[in-house]
Amino acid sequence: MATNPTAGRSLHGNIASPETATEAAVEWTTEDFLAAEPYPMPEITDEMIQEFLDATASPAVRGGSSTPGGPPSAGGPGDGTAEPLAGHPYPPPFNEHEVLVPYTTYPFCTIGKLFFKQGGGSWQASAAAIGKNGLWTAGHCVHSGNGQPSGWSTNFVFVPAYKDGAAPFGQFTARQLCCRTNWYQHGNPGGLFEDMGAAIMNPLNGRMLSQVVGWLGFAWNFPRNQVWTSLGYHGGRMWQDTAPYANDGSVPGSPPTIGIGGSMTDSGGPWVLGLGSTNYVNGNNSYKQPLEIYSPYFGDNAHSLKQEVVK
């Protein structure tokens, strides 16, 4: 481990793991890929919701801010606002299907599978490239939420455009993991409202992650009434779920989480505004109920965490 004076200290509400030396990274084999279990997405029962009802109101919405994404050889597109929509009663509407275009095309090539070890198990989840060597996922994919340094994930690799065991762009190993301090300290359910995770990945063959696969833009302080496309994996294949805002979550903490319809069970995948046009990450698969998925609301907290890994 390299010396890192900021590891373990709160940085604007974020917390970082020790840095890992590049030469210490261990690649996963195809057999390792197939043996890794899907990381269980946290699930909130009606009893838990009742116990932890939070009466705080939604935050005042400012104009919203964003940074553009871009394909491997071009800059990113522009504006990503959406018309406001009404919420939806349970079960909310959604359109979910396997991604049918080649995963190696932008913007799908920015999304891939995570493989990591945590709590004695080998796990798989989803993540997305967000610029330079930065990666975005759920907080519970980078740290167990137990408040301890031992909770950080290890052997953490990102395989963009993964499909059925294939790694067309190779494996990117992690230099440092980051999450929100509230997730680190409180976990499930007390930290779910900030269940955001990020990582600084090592370059591969001298090239940054964004140079190889491009990157998604990033939006924060946007209105809640949007239509997102949630992306993640079922087994070896990538799936997408397009759905409008349904409701605010009821887990403790403020700002409240955001719910959409869907049956995704893969942790960490991005919620994208304007998939194929603006390509803004504006949420991540955090926890679920049957036929609903929830994400933290992306405010200044999400932007702050993004800045920790995109420097």
Average pLDDT over residues 14-19: 92
pLDDT tens per residue, range 83-101: 445 789 888 999 999 999 9
Average pLDDT over residues 279-285: 98
Q: Where are the domains of the chain?
A: 14-55+82-309
CATH fold for the domain made of 14-55+82-309: Thrombin, subunit H (2.40.10)
Q: State which amino acid sits at residue 80.
A: G
pLDDT tens per residue, range 168-210: 999 999 999 999 999 999 999 999 999 999 999 999 999 999 9
SS3 245: strand
β pairing state of 37-38 and 121-131: parallel
What is the model's pTM?
A: 0.86
Average pLDDT over residues 263-274: 96
- Helix, strand, coil share (%) of the chain residues, nearest 5: 15, 35, 45
Considering the chain, what is the average pLDDT of its residues? 87
| 72, pLDDT greater than 70 | yes
Closest CA to 218 of 307, 122, 112: 307
Average pLDDT over residues 144-155: 97
